[in-house]
Amino acid sequence: MERVEDWLEQEREQLPLWVPVALGAGIAAWFFLNNRLEWLVFSCVSLAVACGAVLLPAGGRLRQGLVMGGLLACFGCVLIWGKAMLLGTPPLAQPVFVTLTGEVQGVNPVPAQKMSRVLVRPLDGSGLPSRIRINFDETLLPAGVGKGAIIRFRTRLMPPAPPSLPGGYDFARRAYFDGIGATGRALRPIAVLRSSRGASPLRGRLFAHILEKMPGPGGGIAAALATGDQGAIAERDAEAMRRSGLAHLLSISGLHVTALIAAVVFLLMRAMALSQRAALDWPLMLIAAGGGALAGIGYTLLTGAEVPTVRSCVAALLVLGGLALGRDAITLRLVAAGALVVLLLWPEALVGPSFQMSFAAVTALVALGEHPRFRAFIAVREEAGWRRMGRHLGALLATGLVVELVLAPIAIFHFHKAGMLGSIANLVAIPLTTFVVMPFEALALSFDLVGWGAPFWWLTARALDLLLLVAHGVASSPWAVMRSAAQSVGIFALLLTGLLWCLLWRSRWRWIGLIPVATGVAMILKSAPPALLVTGDGRHVAVRTAHGGLAILRERAGSYVRDALAETAGYDGVLETMAAMPEARCSVDLCAVRLAGGGRNWTVLVTRSSAVIGGDVLARDCARADIVISDRRLPWACRPRWLKADRSLLARTGGLAIDLDRLTVRTVRQAGDQHPWIARPATRPRRPKAVQL
């Protein structure tokens, strides 16, 4: 106990950094535990830890830390539980086909996909959610449809889609907290009963203006930098930005907010310094900080106030406050304060990749900047210009490598891939975006007020062409991306705990965190991709081939399904078709595939059509198979030797990832899951049994 107290005394400046971690632990527990009983047990255990810590010697930091940690964890679980029950929007119970009349609450154009996403509030739909997202093809969206318009159209409404495969993106969870209870696609006829009132929002007008001035491939990126809307970026360019590790430039976050505020503060300071009276008598830093704060808040509101932007704005305001007070503002306490504000206001953001990657990157950068050796390396000194430039490039490369290493576990967990060359690409991309693209775009928008912005738009376009050239060049390298099969929550929690331990402490005991990190990395490297993947509807199946490839059941599957199957399996090659496998025997209605795993051969039988198969034939084939997969309900007579994954089972489990070596099955949905965003079909009232009189 004395050694622990001595160590905590040495780390007393770092203890407040664990406040958002403890709060986040309670929030994460609510998301990853399944039902009310487990949430209640976690809350009670957290309180028990806090109460038990009271028995420790009074005045000790261990006692204070355990009491505060237990209370914060309990509060975090109750906070997100309460917000989910009070403010979330339950999903539609089952698909319905309706003629809908609704008021438009927002229009989000997606030119790259030739469509628009429209948020609609139903006016005459009894039993429908209060907010619905409808996709309109660009040829079907009538003129005059904007915020406040009333439209009528036909559509088939669906509950927000859950992950199609284990480890996939959970749109249903995000839609629940965003207030979206159903989605659909508009069908003819479409009638505008009332046009939108007033001018379109500034963000929409700015988005359209930039695309008009820059019709080339860089126009979508320029619009994203100014408005945060990435809908106009071509998929080819967006994928290149992701593979090269430059996707963070497309979402409005710390880099953009910081660049804008720094530019405003710099200009205000220089402008006020031109006046002798202002320079001598006015509090220049306070005034410049106030102007930068207003600019940051306005930019945040203009770009939609997404969580990364709000987090960056909060952090920037804290930095400005520290500078105005003459204090060292860029510290880990600043990062912790920003995280605490976001978690208190938007606790659901914790489980999203945006929050995790933003705070992980900033924490890594600040922790590196606070290290004495790194500070000594970047300290100002008298030296030749080429040496100074070399040190700056070395510091930029070191920060890029640290950020890539910290973000790799998060990227692998959420996207099943991690960038390997991002630090090299960012050596060019970050200075180019910060000091060339954004200033030229700001000048172009400013001079457009008097009609003189064309030269600056041309310069912006050329700079963005260079940015895309770097992105495509790095993305084309075979070493650009490391892929991995979908990993479990346990491995991710192990890696995250180790990284936080290394980043938040200062003494030599911080390196104990490398043990869980090394363990998690070893588990990822040792994990084998699943042998079988089944989507939640049972229509799409992918199997591992003998030579390590991936083969799918339906060769006409769309690009979305193909990408989802390949990413979940950690595969980066060309998908084959199951019928072309030498281990498969396929007819029009069935495919039988022989797979190896766990020291034996497995026979997998998959239905591939909607035709009715004779009962005797199906029973015979099922009896010969170990696993049967179907998108329909199979009769009781179909009894395979190990697993029958038909519509009845998939309705309860969602998509499947089957590992034949370890004989494990991962599912999208856990048994007894009571999270409110899971759509539960409406139960029909039972008919009373006939009674003989």
Per-residue confidence (pLDDT) for residue 380, from 0 to 100: 76
Model confidence at 308, in pLDDT bands (50, 70, 90)?
low
Question: Among 46-50, 324-328, 604-608, which stretch is predicted with the lowest mean pLDDT?
Answer: 324-328
81 in the same domain as 173: no
Question: Among 74-78, 526-530, 688-692, which stretch is predicted with the lowest mean pLDDT?
Answer: 688-692
Tell me whether residue 178 is in a domain.
yes
Tell me whether residue 224 is in a domain.
no
Q: How many CA atoms lie within 13 A of 46 on its CB side?
A: 24
The Cα–Cα gap between 474 and 243 comes to 8
Please determine, for residue 685, whether its predicted confidence score (pLDDT) is greater than 70: no
Per-residue confidence (pLDDT) for residue 592, from 0 to 100: 93
Rounded percentage of the chain residues whose pLDDT exceeds 70: 95
Please determine, for residue 686, whether its predicted confidence score (pLDDT) is greater than 50: no
514 in the same domain as 585: no
Please determine, for residue 327, whether its predicted confidence score (pLDDT) is greater than 70: no
Backbone angles phi, psi at 187, to 5 degrees: -125, 155
Q: Which of 181, 120, 112 is nearest to 145 (CA)?
A: 120
The Cα–Cα gap between 124 and 209 comes to 36
Per-residue confidence (pLDDT) for residue 216, from 0 to 100: 81
Please determine, for residue 593, whether its predicted confidence score (pLDDT) is greater than 70: yes
29 in the same domain as 81: yes
Q: Which of 69, 87, 105 is at the close of a domain?
A: 87
Helix 332-345 × helix 353-370 angle, to 10°: 160
Looking at residue 365, the DSSP 8-state letter turns out to be H
* Count of domains observed in the chain: 5
Per-residue confidence (pLDDT) for residue 520, from 0 to 100: 93
73 in the same domain as 169: no
Tokens of 495: 């890696």
Q: Could you tell me which residues come within 8 angstroms of residue 15 by beta carbon, excluding any fewer than 6 positions away?
A: 8, 61, 65
557 in the same domain as 661: yes
pLDDT average, residue stretch 285-309: 80
Tell me whether residue 14 is in a domain.
yes
Question: Among 13-17, 279-283, 620-624, 687-691, which stretch is predicted with the lowest mean pLDDT?
Answer: 687-691
Please determine, for residue 215, whether its predicted confidence score (pLDDT) is greater than 70: yes
Per-residue confidence (pLDDT) for residue 693, from 0 to 100: 30
Domain that holds residue 518: 489-526
Question: Among 33-42, 296-305, 621-630, 671-680, which stretch is predicted with the lowest mean pLDDT?
Answer: 296-305
347 in the same domain as 374: yes
The Cα–Cα gap between 152 and 98 comes to 10
pLDDT mean across residues, the chain: 87
Question: Among 153-157, 297-301, 465-469, which stretch is predicted with the lowest mean pLDDT?
Answer: 297-301
Tokens of 462: 């050329």
Per-residue confidence (pLDDT) for residue 687, from 0 to 100: 43
507 in the same domain as 559: no
567 in the same domain as 522: no
Q: Which of 500, 526, 552 is at the close of a domain?
A: 526
Cα distance between the two ends of the chain: 79
Q: Could you tell me which residues come within 8 angstroms of residue 159 by beta carbon, excluding any fewer than 6 positions away?
A: 91, 92, 93, 94, 95, 172, 181, 182, 183, 679
Please determine, for residue 99, whether its predicted confidence score (pLDDT) is greater than 60: yes
- Report helix, strand or coil for 510: helix
Per-residue confidence (pLDDT) for residue 690, from 0 to 100: 40
Q: Which of 411, 431, 460 is at the close of a domain?
A: 411
132 in the same domain as 15: no
Q: How many CA atoms lie within 13 A of 523 on its CB side?
A: 19
Tell me whether residue 684 is in a domain.
no
- Report helix, strand or coil for 101: strand
Model confidence at 399, in pLDDT bands (50, 70, 90)?
confident
Task: Give yes or no for a contact between 408 and 492, defined as CB atoms under 8 angstroms apart.
Answer: no
Looking at residue 10, its amino acid is Q
Per-residue confidence (pLDDT) for residue 43, from 0 to 100: 96
Dihedral of alpha carbons 354, 359, 362, 368, sign:
negative
Q: Is the peptide bond before 582 cis (omega within 30 degrees of 0)?
A: no
537 in the same domain as 522: no
Backbone angles phi, psi at 266, to 5 degrees: -60, -45
Q: What is the DSSP string of 283-336?
A: -HHHHHHHHHHHHHHHHHHHTT--HHHHHHHHHHHHHHHHHHTTS---SHHHHH
- Report helix, strand or coil for 437: helix
Tell me whether residue 265 is in a domain.
no
Tell me whether residue 324 is in a domain.
no
Task: Give yes or no for a contact between 562 and 598, defined as CB atoms under 8 angstroms apart.
Answer: no
Q: Which of 146, 259, 119, 150 is nearest to 205 (CA)?
A: 146
Number of helices and strands in the chain (H, E): 24, 18
Task: Give yes or no for a contact between 660 and 637, defined as CB atoms under 8 angstroms apart.
Answer: no
Q: What are the pLDDT digits (tens) for 333-355?
A: 888 888 898 899 899 999 988 88
Map tokens 């912005």 to a residue.
Answer: 453
Q: Could you tell me which residues come within 8 angstroms of residue 563 by beta carbon, excluding any fewer than 6 positions away?
A: none
Per-residue confidence (pLDDT) for residue 461, from 0 to 100: 93
Tell me whether residue 270 is in a domain.
no
Work out the burial of residue 559: count CB atoms within 10 Å of its CB; fewer than 13 is exposed, 13-18 middle, 19 or more buried.
exposed
Hey, which of 16-30, 305-319, 359-373, 599-613 has the most confident mean pLDDT?
16-30
47 in the same domain as 147: no
Per-residue confidence (pLDDT) for residue 337, from 0 to 100: 85
Per-residue confidence (pLDDT) for residue 427, from 0 to 100: 83
Q: What are the pLDDT digits (tens) for 566-585?
A: 999 989 888 999 988 988 99
Q: Could you tell me which residues come within 8 angstroms of residue 41 by beta carbon, excluding any fewer than 6 positions away?
A: none
Tell me whether residue 655 is in a domain.
yes
Per-residue confidence (pLDDT) for residue 33, from 0 to 100: 94
CATH number of the domain where residue 195 is located: 2.40.50.140
* Residue 133, H or E segment: strand 132-137
The Cα–Cα gap between 329 and 316 comes to 10
Per-residue confidence (pLDDT) for residue 660, from 0 to 100: 93
Please determine, for residue 688, whether its predicted confidence score (pLDDT) is greater than 50: no
Q: Which of 270, 320, 264 is nearest to 295 (CA)?
A: 264
544 in the same domain as 659: yes
